[in-house]
Structures are given as structure tokens and as C-alpha cells.
Chain A
Amino acid sequence: MPTLVDRDGVRALLEREGQLVEVLGASAYEKEHIPGAINIPLRDLPKKADTLRRDHPVIVYCADSL
């Protein structure tokens, strides 16, 4: 089960070389994203997941919880 994390948790993970991934589409990402995040839209995850390091935390996010 993925671990839920809040804002402070994200910041702590980033200090541990966490990889931040915005899973929204490219347009939303280009307009505004969290600094340091890369963009892998949900539908592209299977083919682009190998660009992520498996030995480091991966934090995914979208717009909000709605």
C-alpha cells in the first residue's frame, strides 16, 4: 500500500532524494508545478516508470484530493 504523506512529509522526503512526480497532463504541469517535480502523466507511467530510480522514494501528486 502506498504511504500517504502530507506537505511536511514531502519536504522531508525531498531532502532524502525523493523523486517528485506530477501525474497530471503536460499542460497542467507546464502552467504550474512544484519545483523539482518531473511530469509523468498517469497514462504514461508504465512506459516511463523506468526513468525513476527504484532505490529512492517516489512521491506522486496531482492537483488536490478531489
Chain B
Amino acid sequence: MSPRAACRLETLGFHQVYDYVAGKMDWFAAGLPREGTKASTDRVGDHARSDVPTAAPDDDSGGLEARLGDWDVCVVVTDDRVVLGIVTAEVLAAADGGAVAALMWEAPTTYRPHTATEKVVAWMRERDKTHVLVTDPGGHLLGVATRSELESATASSPSGSG
């Protein structure tokens, strides 16, 4: 629709017309501000923690377990934080060193930050997931949200299902 609007404006005599083709979904998916009656809906991006441990694919997995702290996952990312996969604490505990890439699960589900928290919680319960990755439209890691935090948020939300 926006291409038609942009062309129509030009036919109406406007000469500085720009078309943001990716639209507001792209804007919201990047975690940027929003306005409107639904703008205050609780979103998974509000709970994404950027302090999750990360590693490069060619890092040695040897010392990684000690870096996890309370986390049960490490996110494998490129130099500019594009998500490549994850390594779980369980896998690390059973591993005998080697490159992180060899232990990595390459297909973790990712959500955009504007996804409603309730929807994400329902998905996590259905699949018994403890965490979910939150990325921008370019696949860059914004953070990881834990199920316990998301469930707390939906429980305290006026529209939460508890």
C-alpha cells in the first residue's frame, strides 16, 4: 500500500517522497517506541536480558560452562551479534572441549521484541521451553527472555491469563 501512496503523493506535486516499505512492523520489531491504544501491551522485548552469555562459533567450549552463571544457555553469535545458534548447559556439561560450533544447535526459535508476551508464554508452555531468544529483523541478538520472568509479567498484567 505504501508504494501506491508514495506515487500518489508525487502525482499531487510532492517532490521529497520516501517510502518506508518495511513499515511499522519493522519499526516495532526493532524494539523502537510505539504509540496507540495497544501500545502498552506487554511485549517479550520488554523482558529480554542482554546479559545472556554469548560465544563465537570458533571459541573453545572448554571454559564456557563456568561463564554461564545462572543461565542454562549460551547464545552463539557473529562479531556483530547475529544469532547462529545456542549451546545448552546440558550439552556443555557432557562435552569434552572443542569448538563451540561443534556443540551448537543451529535452529533455535527467535521472536521479535514486539511479540505479545502472552503469545510467547503459551508457546513456551506448549513446548516446555525455559527461555526464548529475541532478535531484531536482521537476526541480531537483543536478548533472552526466561519463561519465569515472562510468566510473572503475564500474571501481573491486567489482561494476563495467569
Contact = CB atoms under 8 A, between A and B. Distances in A.
B9 interface: yes
Contacts of B33: 34-35
Contacts, number: 128
A64 B30 CA distance: 13
Nearest to B1: A62
Contacts of A3: 17-19
Interface residues of A, number: 38
A57 B10 CA distance: 12
Interface string A23-65: 1100001111111000000100110010010101111111111
Interface stretch (B21-29, B82-90, B145-153): B21-29
A23 B1 contact: yes
A9 B19 CA distance: 10
Interface string B30-57: 1011111111000000000000000000
B156 interface: no
A60 B18 contact: yes
B36 A60 contact: no
Contacts of B26: 7, 64
Contacts of B77: none
Contact of B9 (A13, A56, A58, A63): A58
A6 interface: yes
B8 interface: yes
B46 to A, nearest CB: 15
Interface residues of B, number: 36
B35 A32 contact: yes
A60 B36 CA distance: 18
Nearest to B34: A32
A66 to B, nearest CB: 9
B20 A45 contact: no
A23 B5 contact: yes
Contacts of A62: 1-2, 5, 23-24
Interface of A: 1-7, 9-10, 13, 18, 21-24, 29-35, 42, 45-46, 49, 52, 54, 56-65
Given A34-B35, A63-B23, 4 more contacts: A7-B22, A60-B17, A61-B23, A61-B27
